[in-house]
Amino acid sequence: MDRLLDLLPYFGFNAVTFFNGDFCGANMLGTSEHGQLHFVRSGELVMEHEELPDLHITEPALILYPRPIKHRLTVPPGSVVNLICADIRFNDFKRNPFASALPDILHIHLKDIPSLEPILKALFYEGSSEHLGNGFVLDRLCDVVMVHILRHLKKQDILRPGALLGLLHPNLAAAIRAMHDSPEKPWRMDDLARLTGMSRTSFINHFRETVGVPPAEYLLNWRMGVAEKYLKEKKSIKATALAVGYSSQPAFSKAFTARYSVSPGEWQKQFLN
Q: What is the C-alpha separation between 125 and 138, in angstroms, rounded?
A: 10
Q: Which pLDDT belongs to residue 10?
A: 65
Helix (H) or strand (E) holding 17: strand 13-23
The 10s digit of each residue's pLDDT in 131-162 is 788 888 888 988 888 888 888 888 888 888 88
SS3 (DSSP) at 149: helix
Is the pLDDT confidence value at 32 over 50?
yes
- Number of C-beta neighbours around residue 41 at 10 A: 18
Superfamily of domain 164-272: Homeodomain-like (1.10.10.60)
Give the domain ranges of the chain. 3-155, 164-272
Helix (H) or strand (E) holding 100: helix 97-101
20: left (phi over 0), alpha (psi -120 to 50) or beta: beta
**Residue 171, Cβ density class (10 Å: 0-12 exposed, 13-18 middle, ≥19 buried):** middle
In percent, the amount of the chain with pLDDT more than 70 equals: 94
User: Does the CA dihedral 126-16-153-180 come out positive or negative?
Assistant: negative
Tell me what the mean pLDDT of segment 247-256 comes to.
Answer: 95
Q: What is the C-alpha separation between 33 and 87, in angstroms, rounded?
A: 9
Q: Which pLDDT belongs to residue 1?
A: 47
In CATH, what number does 3-155 get? 2.60.120.10
Residue 33 phi/psi, 5° resolution? -90, 5
Q: Which pLDDT belongs to residue 193?
A: 98
Whether the full predicted model's pTM is greater than 0.95, yes or no, is no
Q: What is the C-alpha separation between 173 and 3, in angstroms, rounded?
A: 9
- Number of C-beta neighbours around residue 182 at 10 A: 11
If we measure between CA atoms, which residue out of 231, 164, 220 comes closest to residue 187? 220
The answer to whether residues 214 and 166 touch, using CB atoms and an 8 Å cutoff, is: no
